[in-house]
Amino acid sequence: MKILVAVKRVIDYNVKVRPKADGSDVDLANVKMAINPFCEIAVEEAVRLKEAGTATEIVAVSIGPKQAQEQIRTALALGADRGIHVETDARMEPLAVAKTLKALIEKESPDLIIMGKQSIDADNNQTGQMLGALTAMPQGTFASEVKVADGKVAVTREVDGGLQTVELNLPAIVTTDLRLNEPRYASLPNIMKAKKKPLDTTTPDELGVSTEARVNLLKVELPPERQAGIKVPDVDTLVDKLKNEAKVI
């Protein structure tokens, strides 16, 4: 079984994000970047499936600037077998990513696609679902457990009311939630091995995908600074303030 894992280069979760001075976008200059935490969980799940003997090959894909190869190398150090880098400097929206992945799926014919449920930079939570629609593959989103057997994958989903398990025919798409697994650390020997694993590059053009943006980004600004809390004398005042000042009830 072949697994395709999508990994995204995002701002490291420890970094305090700042907008550019002109508010045109987030400031990425000299900012530490890392693999999106949900994508790391996706890689870990794929590696566990391979270790269990269920999967035979893991292909890690990243779409983004030249430096996104660092995140592919991270995935390779964690256990992926080879990488594909789709190089582009465009601001990739979920639909463009989904289309790119579709084009790669046509080439690679994976049995399972595992990706994060969202990326911590844009928080869209759309790409997996769009990819499902574009490819007509079944999807199991927000996975907290994944079991593959007999050409099917059972995905336990974290939904509002609790857990829901769906069974999908392969090939299928799974998007990961936080509790699916705890990703391992890379190891130094594997970091060195990762340098020697194959990494192919291509571009959206070569794959025949348009990266044209559908959404205009108007402005990026910091949320208003939080005001200090106050103490209220009694419940009535609290209710009154919630109603009339905060206007939340």
Partner 1 sequence: MSSTINRRDLDFLLYEVLNVEELCERELWSDHDRTSFDAVLDLADQIAEEKFLPLAAQLDEHEPEFDGEKVHILPGVKEAHEAYIEAGFMAAHVSNEDGGMQLPLTVSHAAQAIFSSANISALAYLGLTKSAANMLDVWGSDQLKQKYLPHMRSGRFYGTMCLSEPHAGSNLADIRTRAEPQEDGSYRLYGTKMWISGGEQDISENIVHMVLAKVPGAPAGVKGISLFLVPKYRLDENGNSAERNGVNLVGLNHKMGYRGTTNTLLNFGEKEPCVGYLMGKENEGLKCMFHMMNESRISVGMGAVTLGYAGYMHSLQYAKERPQGRLPGEKDPNSPQVNIIKHADVKRMLLQQKAYVEGGLYLALFCDKLVDDIRTGDAAQQKDLAIFMDLLTPIVKAWPSDYCLKANELAIQVLGGAGYTRDYPVERLYRDNRLNPIHEGTNGIQGMDLLGRKVRMNDGYGYQLLVRYLNETIAEAKNTEPLNEYAQSLEHALQALSATTEHLTSAASEDIKLATANSTVYLNAFGHVVVAWQWLKQALAANRGLAAAQGDDQDFYRGKLAACRYFYRYELPQIHTQLALLDQLDDTCLNMPEASF
Contact residues: partner 1, CB under 8 A: 12, 14-15, 27, 29-30, 32, 70, 73-74, 77, 185-189, 191-192, 195
CA distance 63 to 65: 7
For the bound state, the minimum distance from the C-beta of residue 191 to partner 1, rounded and expressed in Å, comes to 5
> Is-contact 92 116, C-beta < 8 A?
no
How many Å separate Cα 156 from the centre of its chain?
18
Min dist. Cβ of residue 234 to partner 1 (A): 30
Q: How far is the CB of 30 from partner 1 (least distance, A)?
A: 6
The phi and psi torsions of 67 (rounded to 5 degrees) equal -70, -10
Nearer residue to partner 1 within complex by CB, 70 or 205: 70
In the bound complex, what is the minimum distance in angstroms from residue 204's beta carbon to partner 1? 25
Alpha-carbon distance of 80 to 59, in angstroms, equals: 6
DSSP structural state of residue 222: P
Please, are residues 69 and 63 in contact by the beta-carbon 8 Å criterion? no
- Pick between residue 33 and residue 97 the one whose CB is nearest to partner 1: 33
For partner 1, the closer of residues 42 and 77 by Cβ is: 77
Residue type at 84? I
- Least gap, CB of 169 to partner 1 (angstroms): 37
Element (H, E) at 147: strand 139-149
Strand pairing partners for 91?
Answer: none
Three-class DSSP category at 172: strand
Record the tokens describing residue 55, joined without a space: 């999967």
Q: How far is the CB of 76 from partner 1 (least distance, A)?
A: 11
Task: Give the residue with the Cβ less far from partner 1, 77 or 114.
Answer: 77
CB closer to partner 1, 27 vs 145: 27
Minimum CB distance to partner 1 smaller for 161 or for 189: 189
